């Protein structure tokens, strides 16, 4: 410990250099943490899904509706404890430059099935009772400055016209994958306005026993196999996962870029650290003359590199950990619940240790092996 002052003094000698080195390490790790979090957040979203919830879609594809008449037939199946339904609306708000998800649901059954959607009971009742009411995620409040009881008009893109809803409730999701930038409204009102077409985008089926999921999914699909709209039923998790894979190779590209970033800055930083170590050849020789052992010098040089790398890591990783929640980041809605996970922090820490070794090991070995006489010859 008594050598700590020596290390600190060495770092303080070129203050600017020390600061720049720390900052470049910090930037590298900040970027690394951010990019890795994109991947982990997408993976977490893909994992979302109540074990007891199934999703039934039209087998032909996502964009095809199912008849509303399926409700009672699904409800009557054994093992099914509840059915709810929803339809994508895709309305546009304002100038259309900002986007949020909005869809029609059957309020009572939907809220019963999604305990992840939390709101005061009074608001819940108000939403259920108002046919033209809407329930919104809390992010929309801060984004558009809406108030409870306010009227909001969406322009329909799939279902033309102006649709005005009254905000009756604001919810907070307990699971980030539910999304806090969603507007939902009454399917009943939706159905009425589109001329009682009786269409449903997807059914959510609640089952009593999660282990029965494959059998129940199969019997739902079997029941509608020969109807005009055959279905495809799967667990909610499978449904979510299929969305996550839609990014295709892009998330792989992100992780490749993350590696390139770390490697690039590592090179530059390691170089700067090695150059500063080389300048001190004479000084190290003097320390050796005074009686510092090879081993001690090896450790001291390595500790110096470690101090730079780890300080940078704390700033960079800590910065990422604190910054994203502070600005409430969700990737414009694409990355709900964006989060820098502990595993990312650990991997980032390991990268910093790697950087310390890569940049410190060569100078440290040189310092330890330095022949005094030769080194001192260069000193004036």
Partner 1 sequence: MIPITYNVRSVVQRPLSTALTALGVGLVVAVFIGMLALANGFRAALAKTGSETNAMVLRKGADSELSSGLGRDVASIIAADPHVATGTDARPLVSPEVYVLIPLTKSFDTTQIANVVVRGISEQAWQVRQNVKITAGQRPTSGRAEVCVGSRLTQRFPHTTVGQTLRFAGRDWSVVCNFTAGGSAFESEIWGENEQFMPVFRGEVFQSITFRLKDPGAFAEAQRSLQADKRMTVDVRRESDFYAQQSQLLSNILNFLAVMITGIMAIGAVFGAINTMYAAISSRAPEIGVLLTLGFKPWTVLVSFLAESAFIAVIGGILGCLFALPLNGIVTSTTNWSSFSEIAFSFRITPLLLSLGLFFAVGMGVLGGFFPALRAARLQVVQALR
Contact residues for partner 1, defined by CB under 8 A: 14, 16-17, 20-21, 23-24, 27-28, 30-31, 35, 59-64, 90, 92, 96, 155-158, 160, 230, 241-242, 245-250, 253, 257, 260-261, 263-265, 267-272, 274-276, 278-279, 332, 334
Q: Helix or strand or coil: residue 289?
A: helix
Instruction: Work out how close the CB of 375 gets to partner 1 at its nearest, in angstroms, rounded to a whole number.
Output: 15
**How far does the chain reach from its first CA to its final CA, in angstroms?**
32
Instruction: Work out how close the CB of 35 gets to partner 1 at its nearest, in angstroms, rounded to a whole number.
Output: 7
Strands (E) located in 138-238: 151-155, 162-173, 182-186, 199-200, 202-207, 231-235
The pairing of strands 80-88 and 202-207 is antiparallel
Instruction: Work out how close the CB of 103 gets to partner 1 at its nearest, in angstroms, rounded to a whole number.
Output: 14
Instruction: Work out how close the CB of 240 gets to partner 1 at its nearest, in angstroms, rounded to a whole number.
Output: 12
- Nearer Cβ to partner 1 (170/340): 340
Q: Supply 219's token pair.
A: 């019997």
How far is the C-alpha of 305 from the C-alpha of 352, rounded, in Å?
A: 10
Instruction: Work out how close the CB of 123 gets to partner 1 at its nearest, in angstroms, rounded to a whole number.
Output: 31
Instruction: Work out how close the CB of 24 gets to partner 1 at its nearest, in angstroms, rounded to a whole number.
Output: 4
Q: Which residue from 32, 37, 21, 33 is spatially nearest to 267, judged by alpha carbons?
A: 21
- Nearer Cβ to partner 1 (194/299): 194
Instruction: Work out how close the CB of 266 gets to partner 1 at its nearest, in angstroms, rounded to a whole number.
Output: 8
- Nearer Cβ to partner 1 (135/152): 152
- Nearer Cβ to partner 1 (30/171): 30
Percent of the chain that is helix, strand, coil (3-state, to 5): 55, 15, 25
Q: Helix or strand or coil: residue 162?
A: strand
Instruction: Work out how close the CB of 8 gets to partner 1 at its nearest, in angstroms, rounded to a whole number.
Output: 19
DSSP letters spanning 76-131: TSTTEEEEEEEEE---B-TTSSS--EEEEE-HHHHHHH-TTEE--HHHHHHHHH-T
In which element (H, E) is residue 255 found?
helix 250-279
- Nearer Cβ to partner 1 (145/248): 248
How far is the C-alpha of 219 from the C-alpha of 203, rounded, in Å?
A: 15
- Nearer Cβ to partner 1 (84/359): 359
- Nearer Cβ to partner 1 (28/345): 28
Is 58:231 a contact under the CB 8 Å cutoff? yes
- Nearer Cβ to partner 1 (296/358): 358
Is 124:133 a contact under the CB 8 Å cutoff? no
């Amino acid at each position: 410990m008594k050598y700590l002052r020596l290390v600190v003094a060495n770092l303080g000698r070129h203050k600017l250099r020390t600061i720049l080195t720390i900052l470049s390490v910090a930037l590298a790790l900040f970027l690394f943490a951010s990019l890795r979090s994109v991947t982990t957040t997408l993976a977490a979203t893909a994992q979302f899904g109540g074990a007891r919830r199934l999703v039934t879609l039209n087998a032909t594809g996502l964009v095809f509706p199912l008849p509303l008449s399926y409700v009672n037939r699904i409800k009557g199946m054994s093992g099914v404890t509840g059915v709810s339904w929803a339809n994508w609306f895709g309305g546009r708000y304002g100038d259309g430059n900002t986007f949020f998800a909005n869809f029609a649901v059957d309020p009572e059954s939907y809220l019963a099935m999604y305990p992840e959607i939390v709101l005061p009971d009074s608001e819940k009742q108000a939403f259920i009772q108002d046919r033209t009411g809407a329930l919104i995620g809390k992010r929309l409040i801060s984004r558009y400055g809406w108030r409870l009881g306010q009227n909001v008009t969406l322009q329909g893109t799939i279902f033309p016209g102006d649709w005005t809803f009254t905000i009756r409730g604001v919810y907070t999701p307990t699971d980030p994958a539910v999304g806090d930038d969603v507007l939902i409204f009454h399917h009943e009102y939706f159905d009425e306005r589109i001329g009682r077409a009786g269409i449903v985008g997807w059914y959510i089926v609640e089952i009593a026993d999660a282990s029965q999921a494959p059998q129940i999914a199969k019997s739902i699909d079997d029941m509608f196999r020969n109807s005009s709209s055959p279905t495809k039923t799967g667990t909610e998790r499978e449904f979510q996962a299929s969305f996550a894979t839609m990014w295709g190779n892009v998330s792989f590209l992100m992780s490749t870029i993350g590696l390139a970033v770390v490697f690039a800055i590592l090179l530059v930083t390691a170089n700067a650290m090695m150059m500063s170590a080389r300048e001190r050849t004479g000084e190290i020789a003097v320390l050796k003359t005074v009686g510092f052992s090879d081993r001690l010098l090896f450790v001291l040089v390595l500790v110096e590199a470690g101090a730079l790398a780890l300080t940078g890591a704390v700033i960079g990783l800590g910065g990422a950990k604190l910054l994203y929640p502070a600005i409430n980041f969700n990737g414009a809605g694409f990355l709900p619940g964006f989060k820098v996970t502990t595993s990312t922090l650990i991997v980032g820490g390991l990268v910093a240790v790697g950087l310390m070794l890569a940049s410190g090991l060569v100078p440290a070995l040189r310092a330890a092996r330095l022949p005094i006489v030769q080194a001192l010859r260069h000193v004036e």
